[in-house]
Structure 1
Amino acid sequence: MELYQLRTFVAVARAGHLTRAAEGLHVSQPAVSAHIKALEDELGVALFTRSARGMGLTPQGQALLARAQSVLEQAEELTRAARSLRQQLDGELKIALNTDAEFLRVRELLSVLRAEHPALGVHLPQNMSHFIAEEVRAGSLDGGFVYGEAPPQGLEAVPLCSFRLVVIGPLAWRERLAGATWADLAREPWVWYSDALPCHASVQRWIAPYECRLSKVAVTDYEGTIRALVQSGAGLGIMREDEGARCEGAGEAFVWRGDSLPMNAYFLYRRDRESDPAMRAVLAALRAVWGLEQPLASAHMRA
């Protein structure tokens, strides 16, 4: 039994006529007749009754039609699965995170990649934006998430979202600093960012007009350390607005109601990876997860 015989059986049953079935299958009428006869001989039952009006299904043909259709559908599904396997990606991508996975929608990204390319693995090291950009440029990372007012030069940068940085302080200081100015804040102790972070220069420009000289009790490159030290009462700090709101809502810190600093999040990769199937899969997943327009826009920055 051949699949083409089953296709002919289904086509004749639908058309009710040999000639119309032959036209739909793009074969000759004698070929259609031969397919039906061979199938009937193999099955040992008559599938059709012939009359001047055309071809009608016998009770046996009616009973077997649904099964023939099911076999053809399964064969098509098998073909699609094989085609998918030929195109399936494997190996491992190394994509660095500069902040928490929830903000970067990493779970959603992995879910899309796993659904489309289950054999493709992803390694997620953590680092600061500055070092992530350098490693992507050097080729030791396939891609990475970074912060910045503008994307770093020499790399492709996909803009993901904009957010704001705010000042947070220990909850016990809320009333005392409710109406504070930058000059007032400068007199307080601070848990400060490492100068290797891209937002360090932005924050310095942010406070420059106020001519503030901050008192830094600690310098760190990890957001979690800033959050923990601020909560413990060590000093003021700067963090993303959404994180500040979460801390304030949990009664762990307060958000200063003064001005805030705009910042952007990007996904970086090298332009020579643009045609790589694995990178194309990541970019497609980013587009789906972040709701980015098609085609995926990137900022082409050159050194």
Structure 2
Amino acid sequence: MDLELLRTFAAIHRTGTLTGAAKLLGVSQPTVTARLRSLEGHTATRLFEGDARGCRATPAADELAARLHLPLAELESVAESLGGQSGLAGATLRLGAPAEFTEYVLPSALAGLAAGGLTTHVTLGLAADLQQGLTAGTLDLVVSTAKPPKRTVWQPLLDEEFVLVAAPRLAAGLAPRALRDRPAATLGALPLVSYDGQQSIIRLWRRHVLGAPPPAASRVTVPDLRTVRRLVIEGAGISALPRYLCASELAAGELVVLVEPEDSPINTFYLVTLRQLRTRPAVAAAWTAIQGAVRNGA
């Protein structure tokens, strides 16, 4: 089978449209259509369904894309090294990262990459979902707080410090002596606002500082720390947040820190990609740019 058929299929799956695939490959849309029809004829399988937004992959297409991801990545890496293609013009990167990290850290890196000609598609999500996307072949590079899986190359980026915060009017109802002598029980009586159903950040803070898990389910759960911050300001409950995310609100008196331990819990961000993708120009350039943004304080 002609490898161009597989490359074309991968481009359609990546971009979600025939037009996008044609642009990515540098060929005409009729050529992309003809190659797709040829591949579907070879496999006797319908790979895409047309919808209002372009091409919707069938389950068979998703399975084929997962099988092709690593082999095609290796071939492209070899081709680029042999051809001396190190520029970013026309290249595409699929980057996954948490929404908050993207907003506060990545803009300068992404702007620099865009100026160099790189097209970047950013997927926002939770750590587990982003790493699943990396291993499934739908993402090229991820920023994640989860332990990097096997077959990956990774680099620690930064440690975020978590602080337990509340709205001043909620904190004012706490007895200082009770908070000092019985912090677990005193804090356990307050409603919680969490980032996920597992209460991962609150659980990390309580185990690290109090040696005890959260005593109850969260009053509100929302997978966006910026919204968690807003809910805490409005008095919906208490939560543990990265200090950088609530520094302005603490300085303005919209939030207060409930407990200041000597050793605050931290969470490490990792930059992760597959071994076969690390040397690709787009991934290598983004790797360097993101590390630079972190070093320069975004």
On whether the aligned pair clears a TM of 0.5, the verdict is: yes
Deviations 1:241-300 (A, max 9, x none): 1223222223322122333311111122111101212111112223433339xxxxxxxx
Counterpart of 1:110 in structure 2 is 110
Q: Which whole-Å CA distance do the structure 2 matches of 1:212 and 1:274 have between them? A: 39
CA distance in 1, matches of 2:156, 2:86: 32
Deviations 1:130-158 (A, max 9, x none): 1111111111011121224x444443222
The alpha-carbon distance between structure 1 residues 290 and 234, as it changes in their structure 2 partners (threshold 3 A), is closer
- Which residue matches 1:158? 155
Structure 1 residue runs of 4+, over 4 Å off? 101-104, 196-201
Offset at residue 92 of structure 1 (A): 2.1
**The residue matched to 1:266 in structure 2 has which SS?**
strand
Provide the C-alpha distance between the structure 2 equivalents of 1:211 and 1:112, rounded to a whole number of angstroms: 42
Question: Helix, strand or coil for the counterpart of 1:288?
Answer: helix
Q: How far apart, CA to CA, are the structure 1 residues paired with 2:113 and 2:271?
A: 16
Residues 157, 291 of structure 2: 8 Å contact kept:
no
Letter in 1 for 2:137: G
SS at match of 1:125: strand
Structure 2 contact 88–282 (Cα < 8 Å) conserved: no
Match of 1:133 in 2: 131
Mapped partners of 2:249, 2:295: distance in 1: 27
Q: Does 1:93 align with 2:97?
A: no
Question: CA–CA distance in 2 between the matches of 1:185 and 1:255?
Answer: 12
Matches of residues 85-234 of structure 1 in structure 2 within 5 Å? 87-101=87-101, 104-115=104-115, 117-118=116-117, 120-148=118-146, 150-177=147-174, 179=176, 180=179, 181-195=183-197, 199=201, 202-203=204-205, 205-206=207-208, 209-210=211-212, 213-214=215-216, 216-234=218-236
Distance 1:143 1:242 in 2: 24
Query: For 1:265, which of 251, 269, 274 is the aligned residue?
Result: 269
What secondary structure is seen at the aligned counterpart in 2 of 1:216?
A: coil
User: Cα–Cα, structure 1 residues 212 and 132, in superposed 2: closer, same or farther, change >3 Å?
Assistant: closer
Output one character per residue of 1:84-133: Cα deviation in whole Å (capped at 9) or x when no partner: 99844323211122032566521210233234x22x11112211111111
SS in 1 for 2:145: strand
Verify the 8 A CA contact 1:96 1:126 in the aligned structure 2: yes
Identity level (%): 20
Normalised TM-score (structure 1): 0.59
Residue identity in the other structure for 1:249:
A
- 1:284 corresponds to 2:281: no
The amino acid of 1:227's aligned partner reads R
Query: Which residue of structure 2 aligns with residue 240 of structure 1?
Result: 242
Distance 1:154 1:85 in 2: 25
- Which residue type is aligned with residue 285 of structure 2? A
Give the aligned CA root-mean-square deviation in angstroms. 2.9
* Distance 1:225-1:269 versus aligned 2 partners, 3 A rule: same
Helix, strand or coil at the partner of 1:189? coil
Say if 1:205 and 1:106 are closer, same or farther in 2 by CA, change over 3 A. Answer: same
What is the alpha-carbon distance in structure 2 between the residues aligned to residue 90 and residue 105 of structure 1? Answer: 24
Aligned length in residues: 206
Unpaired stretches in structure 1, ≥5 consecutive residues: 1-83, 293-303
Structure 1 residue 203, shift from structure 2 partner: 4.5
Once the two structures are TM-superposed, the CA of residue 219 in structure 1 deviates from its matched residue by: 2.1
